[in-house]
Amino acid sequence: MKKFINKAADFVNEMIQGILAAHPDKVKIVNNDLRCIINAKSYKGKVGIATGGGSGHLPLFLGYVGDGMLDGCSVGGVFQSPSAEQMFEVTKAINQGAGVLYIYGNYGGDIMNFDMAAEMADAEDIKVVSVVAGEDVASSPKGQEGKRRGVAGIFFVYKCAGAAALEMKNLDEVKRIADKAAANVRTMGVALSPCIVPEVGKPSFSIGEDEMELGMGIHGEPGIERGKLKTADETVQIMMDKILEDLPYSSGDEVAVLVNGLGATPKEELYVMYRKIAEILNGKSIKVYKAYLGEYATSMEMAGASISLLKLDGELKSLLAKPANTPFFEQVQLEG
Amino acid sequence: MKKFINKAADFVNEMIQGILAAHPDKVKIVNNDLRCIINAKSYKGKVGIATGGGSGHLPLFLGYVGDGMLDGCSVGGVFQSPSAEQMFEVTKAINQGAGVLYIYGNYGGDIMNFDMAAEMADAEDIKVVSVVAGEDVASSPKGQEGKRRGVAGIFFVYKCAGAAALEMKNLDEVKRIADKAAANVRTMGVALSPCIVPEVGKPSFSIGEDEMELGMGIHGEPGIERGKLKTADETVQIMMDKILEDLPYSSGDEVAVLVNGLGATPKEELYVMYRKIAEILNGKSIKVYKAYLGEYATSMEMAGASISLLKLDGELKSLLAKPANTPFFEQVQLEG
């Protein structure tokens, strides 16, 4: 296991200590718990937005806590859900009297704990509503969207909802916008190699030296096709066909694109993929408003990538364009 | 060779086509040459800043072309220098009448070609001056700083000089600032695994499953110690000892820190390293103004990291704090 770590059991806490040391102006912890992170700044009367999930996915989840995105986040061990109590502590800390929106991925443990935290908040008269993101088209067929895993596309939900909350929209409005973003995003991933969870010490799955797995999840959940390595263009074509037909995205649509590296995949390769994505979208007269490329939701040192598309309307576009300033994502106001 | 590529020979050009497709508002090419990239915006009377070098290091080199950083860049094949003619084309395109500053790393091929390009520019009455960055303390001992390789620390030179040029300082001033930044930065790297140059098709070097190499360069140049994998804290301690004593950085200094992933190293591990870096600096009463963590100068899918320190004075600090907006690096104005 080749990693820059000390003791495996200390990996997550030491990582968070590093984040706190590097970004003291942006984030802090609450309840003296390293796993409960909130924005260092607060805005009176603003709807609070919280997320949470397992560690090992940086920038997900806690990396998006900051201005114009999220107010708080609780994280668990690597690939493990945080507890309901931790989510509740974050909820209390970010409540500014306007209620709290939970945005999190569609995983059983997270749902159970977030629901419990919402009940605990309700008992203290903090209004909480939830948006569960699940947009991985490879994880469940069309018609069963409710069973889909949440992956990198949740970035778009955070971004649009976060901008709306900073405009001081009320809880119903921020939830409506988060729901709309979540409904208009689709993702598909591909994996080339596994990662190693430090406390496990061995690869999360095995895959042949000449193989790739299309549709694999960010915890190594099975995909839809294991086969010989394809060219970048062939791989992108399969992924885009599946994504485009699903919503569907059609001629005349305007989209934002996210090409996400899973951890070990160089930026060069993401751009080789994007070349083909742009060609496909151009061929279908789907206009790209903004392309994001880099690491947005990873699986530590897994090699692979995912493609996400967000269909924009005027409202989502204007919210996506707003500035953001978090430890892992900075954006100046976009033009157009 | 597990990569998202098509033909190995097309890798660099297709990557650049992807960059142009993703960031048409930020960068464009000149002379109809994909290897000659300039800022899509230009500023009359501004000193132009150009860099160049091999591909395979994204965001280096071309990723920093944009507002507040660089005006132009020429790149070669993977780990290969661009030609003097390409550098000259970029030079002509970014000349706004105030002269052009070359900032590039200390590698033989680049020096030869940039010198030739400067002569070609001189023949057309474009004033060119150069700053050669070389800050890798492991590549040559103290006293022989002129032999040191340029690595991730060049980011700080780009950032400070780029901000100065955008303030419409003249060529002498911008060069003075670039020289000062270059003189105050030190870097050391560590590698865990090699990368594969697509047209070569096999790993750039071999290293045991339980080994690391301290001081290795970003093209796999030999380091100063090959040995058993150490803990993150031990590794950081060795690197920081070497960096701190070199300038030296002393009690009361204020610094910016860059913890750079070489390609396949997860952000989690960079933050585990930063935890120890912050502890060491704190123990020496060296104040951190700003920490940058992520991929700034890579070697494709090489696993490893480098640490760079920039000693700040009031001038460098205020320039570092300025906003920047390039395809691979965005920063809002820093506080303090």
The pLDDT tens digits along chain B (336 residues) read: 899 999 999 999 999 999 999 999 999 999 999 999 999 999 999 999 999 999 999 999 999 999 999 999 999 999 999 999 999 999 999 999 999 999 999 999 999 999 999 999 999 999 999 999 999 999 999 999 999 999 999 999 999 999 999 999 999 999 999 999 999 999 999 999 999 999 999 999 999 999 999 999 999 999 999 999 999 999 999 999 999 999 999 999 999 999 999 999 999 999 999 999 999 999 999 999 999 999 999 999 999 999 999 999 999 999 999 999 999 999 999 987
Other CB atoms within 10 Å distance of the CB of residue A41: 13
User: Are residues B278 and A21, on separate chains, in Cβ contact within 8 Å?
Assistant: yes
Q: Is 90 exceeded by the pLDDT of residue A264? A: yes
Entry pTM: 0.98
Closest to B58 (Cβ–Cβ): which among A212, A268, A295?
A268
Instruction: State how far residue A308 is from chain B, nearest Cα, in angstroms.
Output: 14
Chain B residues touching residue A286 (CB < 8 angstroms) = none
Instruction: State how far residue A228 is from chain B, nearest Cα, in angstroms.
Output: 11
> What is the C-alpha separation between A185 and A179, in angstroms, rounded?
10
pLDDT at site A83: 98
Mean pLDDT of A233-259: 98
Interface of A with B in 144-183 (CB under 8 A): none
Q: What percent of chain A has pLDDT over 70?
A: 100
Nearest chain A residue to B280 by CA distance is A21
Closest to B15 (Cβ–Cβ): which among A193, A272, A328?
A272
Q: Is 80 exceeded by the pLDDT of residue A336? A: no
Q: Is 90 exceeded by the pLDDT of residue A335? A: no
Burial per residue of A96-132, b for 16 or more beta-carbon CB atoms within 10 angstroms, e otherwise: bebbbbbbbbbbeebbebbeebbebbeeeebebbbbb
Q: Report the residue count for chain B.
A: 336
Mean pLDDT of A281-294: 98
User: Are residues B269 and A330, on separate chains, in Cβ contact within 8 Å?
Assistant: no
User: Are residues A269 and B3, on separate chains, in Cβ contact within 8 Å?
Assistant: yes
Query: What are A36-83's pLDDT values in tens digits?
Result: 999 999 999 999 999 999 999 999 999 999 999 999 999 999 999 999
> Is the complex ipTM more than 0.90?
yes
Give the best residue of A271, A295, A330 to mutate against chain B (max B CB count within 10 A).
Answer: A271
Give the 3-state secondary structure of residue B213. strand
Interface of B with A in 101-130 (CB under 8 A): none
Mean pLDDT of A293-307: 98
- Among B180, B219, B290, B322, the active-site one is B219
User: Are residues A272 and B192, on separate chains, in Cβ contact within 8 Å?
Assistant: no
- The band of A1, judged by pLDDT with boundaries at 50, 70 and 90, is confident
Nearest chain B residue to A6 by CA distance is B231
User: Which residues, at least 6 apart from B54, have a Cβ–Cβ distance to it below 8 Å?
Assistant: B75, B76, B77, B78, B79, B80, B81, B219
User: Are residues A270 and B298, on separate chains, in Cβ contact within 8 Å?
Assistant: no
Instruction: State how far residue A230 is from chain B, nearest Cα, in angstroms.
Output: 8
Query: What are A89-124's pLDDT values in tens digits?
Result: 999 999 999 999 999 999 999 999 999 999 999 999
Closest to A300 (Cβ–Cβ): which among B14, B55, B268?
B268
Interface of B with A in 264-283 (CB under 8 A): 264-275, 278-279
Other CB atoms within 10 Å distance of the CB of residue B130: 17
Give ∠ CA A300-A185-A262 in degrees, rounded to 5: 15
Chain B residues touching residue A331 (CB < 8 angstroms) = 330
Give the best residue of A268, A270, A282, A300 to mutate against chain B (max B CB count within 10 A).
Answer: A268
Q: Is 90 exceeded by the pLDDT of residue A249? A: yes
Instruction: State how far residue B68 is from chain A, nearest Cα, in angstroms.
Output: 13
Closest to B235 (Cβ–Cβ): which among A4, A58, A264?
A4
pLDDT at site B218: 93
Closest to B192 (Cβ–Cβ): which among A2, A25, A193?
A2
Q: Report the residue count for chain A.
A: 336
Instruction: State how far residue B331 is from chain A, nearest Cα, in angstroms.
Output: 6
Q: Is 80 exceeded by the pLDDT of residue A319? A: yes
SS3 annotation, chain A:
CCCCCCCHHHHHHHHHHHHHHHCCCCEEEECCEEEEEEECCCCCCCCEEEEEEEECCCCCCHHHECECCECEEEEEEECCCCCHHHHHHHHHHHCCCCCEEEEEECCHHHHHHHHHHHHHHHHCCCCEEEEEECCECCCCCCCCHHHCCCCCCHHHHHHHHHHHHHCCCCHHHHHHHHHHHHHCEEEEEEECCCCECCCCCCECCCCCCCEEEECCCCCCCCCCEEEECCCHHHHHHHHHHHHHHHCCCCCCCEEEEEEEECECCCHHHHHHHHHHHHHHHHHCCCEEEEEEEECCCCCCCECEEEEEEEEECHHHHHHHCCCEECCCCEECCCCC
B52 phi and psi angles, rounded to 5 deg: 180, 165
Q: Is B219 a catalytic residue?
A: yes
Closest to B18 (Cβ–Cβ): which among A55, A192, A272?
A272
Query: What are A188-218's pLDDT values in tens digits?
Result: 999 999 999 999 999 999 999 999 999 999 9
pLDDT at site B335: 85
Give the best residue of A272, A277, A307, A322 to mutate against chain B (max B CB count within 10 A).
Answer: A272
- Among B23, B35, B46, B57, the active-site one is B57
Give the best residue of B268, B328, B329 to mutate against chain A (max A CB count within 10 A).
Answer: B268
